[in-house]
Amino acid sequence: MTKKPIYKIRNTAIYNFLKLQQDPIAFFDQLTKESRYQVCTFKGLKGNLYMVSDPELIRKILLKSGKEFLKEPDANKALARVGGYSILNSEGEQWKRNRKILQPAFHWKYLEKLFDNLYAVAEEGVAHLLQQKGKRINIATEMTAITFKAVLRVLYSTDIHMSAKELQQVFATSLEQVTKILFNPFYDLTGFFTGDHQKLQKSNKTIHTLVDQLIQERMAYEGDPKYDLLEMMMNSRYEDNGEKMSREQLRNETITMFFAGHDTTANTLSWAFYYLGKHPDVYQQIKEEVRKVWGEEPPSFEKVRQLTYTQQVVEETMRLSSAVPFINRLSQGAEVEGYHFPKGERVLLSIYHMHRNPEIWEDPEVFNPERFSPEKVKERPVSHFMPFGAGPRMCIGNHFAMLEAVLLLGMLARTFDFELLSEKVGSELIVTHKPKGGVWVKLY
């Protein structure tokens, strides 16, 4: 097969490094426009990088994950500095065994058992926001607080010995440091002088001590079943030897769920409020759907899943502002669709730009939830929309994330009207894609 040409970006490695430090999304925007959404390559401090935004090519690369494309080792190591190796950043047999033992916890049947805990946190969040009516608030901060409490409650349904707000701040510090490690190859040197090493060590110590304590308390517990994720993980056994997870692995997976379970959903809801503030007619449609489906009753698990238009709004938000906009892979020497990716080179899959590609999406910059109507979805190749990735390493918590986002958006729409105060919101990457400076609103 004739190899397809790859567009070469002529910038120097130093120039690219500095631009990445300043604003990664703006830098990748620049590359995408220059290459016109073609596969392109550019110089990095550790060799060449390849950037892909074609949907079918991205899908095929993700399907080859674990074989011809591995997760990028530097990213895996950066994440391991906080939570060790888990299903998020491990490879090979370790990843396969742990993925298999955890998968049942994220099936719809088990999520229904977690719903009461999730709904209780949503109710508490609404009650708190009722006290903020008429005030200028950062809805991104509020969504992060609610989703953090939610993942805390479904992971560990018993009260902990630390306020959720304090713990959330500790996790935020660790996330900030992971981002610096990812984008700064000199972190181990510069961190000594900036104080970043001390910040990371302090936050890690707090996180590890707390999670170890939660596990120890649950191991000593002899009461009725708790129906939370920690209990499920502790009771599960590996198929090959019948053993349970080690305490270290339990800790790693628990820390990963804290990180991945709240940050992405909080970002999606924050961006949703920004887009809904720009499109109040869409917000009114959500309110009308909630009124018809839920009435005045507390929503059940099934009633949440019946909010089809609200789900469309969440999906359109994820299209425009993917919580995980880029996926890194390391080529093992692969050829896909005629493109050759040399062994040892890093491949950046741009979900963000694929979701905004004008050759795939009509008026891609326009917020339009009708794109995700059942009729439109049937007409479109599945590869055109991949907010949770694809292939064997597709996000294990995708159903939980959608359930949580739709529940919270529905409850907030039923309770509040709001005014968007942020005229324009930029983007920033702190591991995930966040609204820079938050999204400021006034609730009524």
**120-130 pLDDT per residue, tens:** 999 999 999 99
Greatest Cα pair distance, the chain, in angstroms, is 65
Q: Give me 41's structure tokens.
A: 């390559």
Q: What is the reported pLDDT for 417?
A: 97
Residue 386 identity: M
Whether the pLDDT of residue 200 is over 80: the answer is yes
User: Can you tell me the mean pLDDT for 172-184?
Assistant: 88
**68-101 pLDDT per residue, tens:** 999 989 889 999 999 999 999 999 899 999 999 9
Q: How far apart are CA 294 and CA 410, in angstroms?
A: 9
Do the Cβ atoms of 240 and 97 come closer than 8 Å? Answer: yes
* Domains of the chain, CATH where assigned: 7-443 (1.10.630.10)
The residue written with tokens 């939830």 in the block is 369
Q: What is the reported pLDDT for 167?
A: 83
Regarding beta strands 339-341 and 334-336, do their DSSP bridges make them parallel or antiparallel, or are they unpaired?
A: antiparallel
**259-284 pLDDT per residue, tens:** 888 889 999 999 999 999 999 999 99
Determine what percent of the chain is predicted with pLDDT higher than 70: 99
C-alpha radius of gyration, the chain, whole number: 22
The residue written with tokens 């999204």 in the block is 439
Whether the pLDDT of residue 134 is over 60: the answer is yes
Whether the pLDDT of residue 225 is over 70: the answer is yes
Whether the pLDDT of residue 292 is over 60: the answer is yes
DSSP string computed for 276-330: HHH-HHHHHHHHHHHHHHHTTSPPPHHHHHT-HHHHHHHHHHHHHS-SS-EEEEE
Query: How many other CB atoms are there within 10 angstroms of residue 43's CB atom?
Result: 18
Under the banding of pLDDT at 50, 70 and 90, the label for residue 139 is very high
- How far CA 390 is from CA of 60, 99, 148, 176, 393, in Å, comes to 9, 15, 25, 26, 7
Under the banding of pLDDT at 50, 70 and 90, the label for residue 241 is confident
